[in-house]
Amino acid sequence: MILLLAVPTVARAQSYEEHRAVSLLAGPGLGYTTTLSGDRAVTGPGVLFDVGGSLTVGYDQDEVFLLARAGLGEAGKGGVLLGGFRSIFGREEWQTFFDVGAAVRLFSGTWAGPRLGFGVRRTLSDQLSFYGGLGLSLGFGSGMRVDAEAFTGLQWSFPIGSR
């Protein structure tokens, strides 16, 4: 009886292969920020551009990523480092993802805090994907900051082996 219950679990575990890859990520986005510093509040939009990379971890296609972000406008002021874990759902050409990570703003005041994001990814080939989504980050340090973003980009993957 226990063996019969274990069959679906074993079958599912065998259907996942570990595909190791390193990827380049780049793309534009739009953002909106609200900053509270002392008794002063500043809000405004911005245009963003991300460039960075990712590395697949574990099974399926989950990955860790690190992005450098620059931009124009109130939401784009200063440089930002974004990093975290992206969990990918789906095995077909259309996939969804969920990001959990952190954002660190280095210039125009220093803020650091958590970031959440979600979106969709469309696989165009074995090496190229298009993605887009929404993100929200909080920043603490030089006051408090809330950033909302809509982002898009291309992901160019390079296999580094599989087991």
Q: Tell me whether residue 24 is exposed, middle or buried, using C-beta atoms within 10 angstroms of its C-beta: 0 to 12, 13 to 18, 19 or more.
A: middle
Task: State the pLDDT at residue 107.
Answer: 80
Task: State the pLDDT at residue 18.
Answer: 59
121 touches 97 (CB < 8 A): yes
User: Residues for the chain: how many in total?
Assistant: 163
- The domain ranges of the chain are 21-159
Q: How far apart are CA 37 and CA 31, in angstroms?
A: 19
* Average pLDDT for runs of 10 along the chain of length 163: 40 53 97 89 94 90 94 85 95 94 88 97 94 97 93 95 58
Question: Cα–chain-centroid distance for residue 146?
Answer: 17
Task: State the pLDDT at residue 37.
Answer: 84
Question: Cα–chain-centroid distance for residue 93?
Answer: 18
Task: State the pLDDT at residue 162.
Answer: 55
Q: How far apart are CA 113 and CA 146, in angstroms?
A: 10
86 is written with which tokens? 């992206």
Residue holding tokens 């789906």? 90
| DSSP state, residue 61 | T
Query: Which residues have C-beta within 8 Å of that of residue 16, sequence separation ≥ 6?
Result: 59, 60
- Between the CA of residue 120 and those of 75, 117, 142, what are the distances in Å? 23, 11, 33
Q: How far apart are CA 46 and CA 33, in angstroms?
A: 8
* pTM, rounded to two decimals: 0.82
73 is written with which tokens? 């406008």
21-159 topology per CATH: Porin (2.40.160)
